Copies of this chain bind each other. A is one copy, B any other.
Amino acid sequence: MLPTFLRFPFAFAGLITLISLLPIPALAARYPSYGTLRTTKSGGVLNVVINNTYSTINLFDMHVQSDLANLVETLQANDTDVRVVVFSSANKEFFIGHIDVEYFLPGYESVLPLYDTGFPDMLFPVALLWNITQLPQATIAVIEGRTRGIGNEFLMSCDMRFASTSPSVLISQLETSLGVNPGAGGGMYLARLIGRGLAFEYVLSSADVDARTAARVGWVNAAFGTPRELHAHVRALAARIAMFPAAGIIATKTGINAATRLSREEIVNAAQNVIAALLPTPPVQGAFRRFIHVTRNQSIGKMELDYGAEVGRLFE
């Protein structure tokens, strides 16, 4: 018989929690190719390689968003077979370039299916990143290459982040330079992660931050001198976590999310609705057109490679 204090009322008080925590027995889900996402499963670890072949800069466009939403939907189904998800990029110059700013200009209409995120008050990419923060799996980003704007917001929505010290790694929350704010709460997560002072510096200045600096201030968990060391560290960490019971991973994430994650209301009110009000305004529409011009349609080139240094060209 269990000790008295475990019988009642705490076990009872936790019943609803328990139900939500217990994995639903299910056939192992299939993780097919998703077009822009290549997946391979190794034990309890699902490796997801972001590979947007429609773009030279791994643009976070409708293809990537649609495929990610599809993947997230599968992972949400409490599949206990996968306990850790590792995101990396096939493009070693760009982990995730940034969002496709064409979205915000007149005439753009996606023809891709975008799934139901479950949150009608959230824009699609905002809801997608929110859903990633509460996956029942541990999530790890492996950063080789530039990661700007929503790319950093994607990093923030993962549980952990590791980077290579390659000069190709530049992380930036660049929205301020375009007259808007990080609309999915990336600047807000960053401020909780590295402190208000440094977040104001990096976000307001739309700076490119290298991996060593990012590791020093806590933006990424650690930076590694070679891709080999980076991948070896993440592989070992993922395999270790995947050894543990799924319920423990979920339960631990529940607590850390409750203690540090932004609430949906904070994201909607202080990030999403702020940018939504600014996007249709003529200055922002002008800035986005200028951005597309100087980046040569968001393709690889001096501007996309070195945005932090070249940002002044927006204002020439």
A residues in contact (CB < 8 Å) with B: 1-6, 10-11, 13-15, 17-18, 21-22, 103-109, 121, 123-124, 138, 159-161, 175-182, 185, 187-189, 191-201, 203-206, 217-218, 220-221, 237, 240-241, 243-245, 247-249, 251-262, 266, 269-281, 283-284, 287, 311-312, 315
User: Do A205 and B241 form a contact, CB below 8 Å, given A218-B197, A273-B10?
Assistant: yes
Contacts of A254 in B (CB 8 A): 181, 270, 274
User: With A and B bound together, what is the CA distance between A104 and B119 in angstroms?
Assistant: 39
Contacts of A261 in B (CB 8 A): 196
Residue in B closest to A265 when the chains form the complex, CB atoms: B258
Copies of the chain in the assembly = 3
Contacts of A283 in B (CB 8 A): 245, 247
B251 engages A13 (CB within 8 Å): no
B255 engages A270 (CB within 8 Å): yes
B192 engages A252 (CB within 8 Å): no
List 10 A-B residue pairs with CB atoms under 8 Å apart, sorted by A's residue number: A3-B109, A6-B276, A179-B248, A181-B248, A185-B259, A192-B195, A193-B197, A247-B281, A251-B275, A259-B262
Contacts of A138 in B (CB 8 A): 200, 204
Contacts of A245 in B (CB 8 A): 178-179, 283-284, 287
A256 engages B193 (CB within 8 Å): no
User: With A and B bound together, what is the CA distance between A272 and B17 in angstroms?
Assistant: 11
User: Do A277 and B3 form a contact, CB below 8 Å, given A196-B261, A200-B256, A206-B244?
Assistant: no
Majority secondary structure of chain A interface residues (helix, strand, loop or mixed): helix
Contacts of A253 in B (CB 8 A): 200, 204
User: Do A247 and B204 form a contact, CB below 8 Å, given A198-B221, A221-B198, A259-B188?
Assistant: no
A2 engages B244 (CB within 8 Å): no
Contacts of A109 in B (CB 8 A): 3-4
Contacts of A257 in B (CB 8 A): 270
B3 engages A104 (CB within 8 Å): yes
Contacts of A243 in B (CB 8 A): 177, 311-312, 315
Contacts of A240 in B (CB 8 A): 205, 311
